[in-house]
Structure 1
Amino acid sequence: MYVCVCKGVTDHQIRQQVSDGARTWREVREATGCATQCGKCACFAKSLTREAVHEARLEANMDLAYAV
């Protein structure tokens, strides 16, 4: 789904940035250009970023638990 129509950024692209190591909204915004034009998508994009980071941290914790 498109999150930022102005820059053509999708939810998949935001999640991919987090998967690739981004851990802050600033990092995602700089990498994708999301919310840098009109800004109407910023609240949703920030929320999506937080959710993706939370999921990435949970996944990393699970990986650590299974490694022990």
Structure 2
Amino acid sequence: MYICICKKVTDGQIRKAVQEQDVTSMRCLRSKLGACDQCGKCAVQAKQLIRQCLHEKTVSDHNPRKAA
């Protein structure tokens, strides 16, 4: 699903950026993918997704059995 329509950034791309490119903030997301730097309507949803992915990453890092 598209999160940032202006830059054509999907939720999958954001998830991958958090997991593989160490995106941890909106500033990092803008830098890596260019998302959320035009109209800004997607910023709230993108920020929530980053937080969710970071939480999932933390849980899986602390419990390797659940990650498998």
TM-score, normalisation: structure 2 = 0.85
- The amino acid across from 2:49 in the alignment is L
Q: Does 1:48 align with 2:49?
A: yes
Q: Structure 2: which 5+ residue stretches go unaligned? A: none
Q: Distance in 2 between matches of 1:25 and 1:60?
A: 22
Instruction: Quote the sequence identity (%).
Output: 43
TM-score, normalisation: structure 1 = 0.85
Mark the structure with the bigger radius of gyration.
1
Structure 1 residue runs of 4 or more that deviate by more than 6 Å after TM superposition: none
Deviation of 1:22 (Å) = 1.8
Q: Does 1:22 align with 2:57?
A: no
C-alpha RMSD over aligned residues? 0.9
Number of residue-to-residue matches in the alignment: 63
